[in-house]
Amino acid sequence: MSAISLDCHPHLNAASISHDEEASCLEPLSTLLWLECGSCSGESMAILGAEGPGREGYNLLDFLENNQVQLLWHPSLSLESPKQLQTLIARILNGQQDLTFLCVEGSIINGPNGTGMFDTLHGQPKRDIIRALCDRADFVLAMGTCASFGGIPAAPPNPTESTGLQFQNDNHGGLLDQDWRSRSGLPVLNLSGCPVDAATMIKTMSWILKGMPLELDVRNRPFTVGPCLSDTLHPKCGTSEKVGYSCYGCISAKFPLSKAMFRQVEHPEKEKPFDRTSEQTYINYRRAIQTGVFSCG
């Protein structure tokens, strides 16, 4: 079995750990907290896995075990109640509990009238809790287009005053302003897609855990994010070729578009799917070995 070098992980001393069957009994090396806001649970469902023709079996269970990540809490999966979650959140906020990945699904809801009371947890606007947790997490991942850019809840007339975590559609600034950085020095990582698939979510987190440099495009999407039904050999959106309807840009910051989106396709080869070439000027974040912090260049 391969040995993983973990000397670039900010929370560990340099060590080599061999990855064998007893791995799941070892102390977790990192932690993950998943929260949902203005969400349909699409990413939660996707990360449990959906495999089939052209789609591998990436799933949350294998990821947690293969990478020794402890799931602190997930709304659909954990035994602990939201009441016990309150204690966990308090421990994270006062520094007693480390948080590696904060995964947020769904749009950030600010309505009615800026109060945030259309989406509450423990009696408070959930967005306030998310805001506080962002400052304690090493990495904040917006799972899906809604958390990244606002997505469907933010479509006109945006009845819930929704935004993404660090963007509102293609404008910088959401719950967090443009200059905000997490403890690792990265902005919110926008894993857009509707939903973003398990492979993308898991490959991105695995890449981060290995301390590899992270390239983000102008919308802060990691290079791992691709259009639907695309892969390394076929980088464009595959809906017209594989399913018969035209791309409607679900990874775009402007999804869903205001104009009529649905079109059946007879000639996939003539299609022009959502083109993000203009958005693909990548910022290359590298992690400094000593500090464990990512910075540009």
| Cβ–Cβ < 8 Å for 277, 217 | no
Judged by CB under 8 A, the stretch of 87-95, 129-137, 169-177, 236-244 that binds other proteins is 236-244
Question: How is residue 81 written in tokens?
Answer: 């109640």
Query: b/e per residue, 162-200, with b = 16+ CB within 10 A?
Result: bbbbbbbbeeeebbbeeebbbbbbbbbbbbbbbbbbbbb
C-alpha span between 119 and 111 (Å, rounded): 8
**Does 261 sit near other proteins (CB under 8 A)?**
yes
Residue in 7, 51, 128, 170 binding other proteins, rule: CB under 8 A: 51
Residue in 116, 197, 221, 274 binding other proteins, rule: CB under 8 A: 197
Judged by CB under 8 A, the stretch of 94-102, 111-119, 169-177, 288-296 that binds other proteins is 111-119
Q: Which is nearer to other proteins, 59 or 206 (CB)?
A: 59
| Cβ–Cβ < 8 Å for 37, 104 | yes
**Does 119 sit near other proteins (CB under 8 A)?**
yes
Residue in 45, 132, 212, 288 binding other proteins, rule: CB under 8 A: 45
Here's the x/- map for other proteins, 176-195, by CB under 8 A: it reads as: ------------------xx
Whole-number Cα distances in Å, 193 to 19, 45, 55, 198: 32, 13, 16, 11
**Does 218 sit near other proteins (CB under 8 A)?**
no
Q: Which residue type sits at 189?
A: L
**Does 46 sit near other proteins (CB under 8 A)?**
yes
